[in-house]
Structure 1
Amino acid sequence: MPSYAITGAARGIGFEFVNQLSADSGNIVFALVRNEATANKLKELGRHNVHIIEADITNNKALKYAAAEVSRLTGNSLDYLINNAGFVESEREGLTLDSYSSEELLTKDLLDSFNINVVGIIHTINIFLPLLKNGKAKTVVTLSTGLGDLDMTMGSELITSGPYSISKAAVNMVNAKYAAQYKSEGFIFLAISPGLVDTSTRAPTEKELEQLMAMIGKFRNAYPDFTGPITPETSVRMQLEVINRITVNDTGAFISHKGNKEWL
């Protein structure tokens, strides 16, 4: 029975990973959420093979509790860890690095992004590594983004989303460091971009819509035929196709939901 632990599983892409993976009753899926009280969509699935565990990836004590719960239910093993949880400061997503109102606010966004998108991922991997070593798949997937790719940034001339992009570029190196260390043990470490995914739960504000259209306009510099975001369902289906065919020879890769460097 393959086992999966997915962080940030209450909504969006994380929820969709849980939804698609748990549709196979032969899988056991651990949905890690920041607040179990708000994980209503997960509870509504009503699937016996889904286990909801409250664990914020910035809280090592909570992560250790989650790992202990996984260990208890699997007999001390885990096949797949999917690092989906992440952070983006949406209110200031449209700013450039030199257009912040204060140095303090820029510093806050940089440190918050790094703390969650890099440090939180490292701690999550380290805490679950003992279980993964006992698993059959030995696979760690970390959701990244094409915004963390240097060529994509230059090709699209996308100059906003600096703290988020910088932190995701850093986590790509985290992925490579673990891959280099554990390749000889048969581990697969993969950084994957889900594409531009519409995870909204409400209609966008006028400002948010303006920012989205500006971003799409920039993306078309690199991808002239790009039409807009895809759904979580489509993104996760494509990501799972990539995850299921990746081998240890590909460990350390940073690729897209299409299995290549085509980010959109």
Structure 2
Amino acid sequence: MSPSSRQDILLAAFAVLSLLLHALLLYLLPADDLLVAPSVKKPVVVEVRPPQQRPREVDMPAQPVTQPRRKPAKRLAPRDQVVPRETAPRGDAPEDRQPLPTVAAPPPAAAPVERKRPGDTGAVSPAPLDLGLPQTTQQRLREGWARKYREDVEEGEAVWLDTEKDLLSSFFKRFRDNIYQVWNYPRAAAERGQSGVCLLRIVINQDGSVDAVEPLESSGYPTLDREAIAAVYRGASYGNLPSSYAKDQLTIMAYFQYRLSGNGVSRNITGR
């Protein structure tokens, strides 16, 4: 069998099969479903109505339109008059009848006692330690502190304030004056009757800045000790060390004394 005749047979078979499928489809489906025309949807019409005006409870009459005035107002008085100032009458409420409370003025702060600065009228001798102890006990306490730190002084690691005057006199004067300007007696400590003396070791750099402050002995009251240490830092810079002083740093040992008396409060910076 030739290829062309084989293709004709296959084509005829497909045609017969197609006719059978269409006949089967017409037999199985109802005739109504095949002939029903598609339904047409009716358009929806939306009617838009304007909002109805509701009557208001109170209708204010329309105000007439005022025309801008073209002529200035007429002067009614022959001259300018000053209206007297009106004052409101005093109220009848209880709080109005009561006088304003008076604020009590704060008590005046005790004036600091003037002290002579060293260098004005000669050197000032160290004041005794005001610790509420007998004079002999104060002297023994002072001597004990001096012996306790004698090695540092003898080895050249530190100097007492107001010593080495031939070399450091001008620097010590600046040091003391700067501290006096910023050193305060804590008011709360004075009101509680706190007084005493603390010993500080102060390290000054060559340019006059403060390198360190170390409390060696306490006054017995941390508030007084902290104020003395803070005053040393606030008083800087103290100026350059003398050019004749060969070391890079100067270590000073000084007493910072707080005193209370009938005349007020006082503070002193002293050496040995």
Pairwise same-fold verdict (TM > 0.5) = no
The TM tier, using the shorter chain, reads under 0.3
TM-score by length of 1: 0.22
TM-score by length of 2: 0.21
Higher helix share: 1
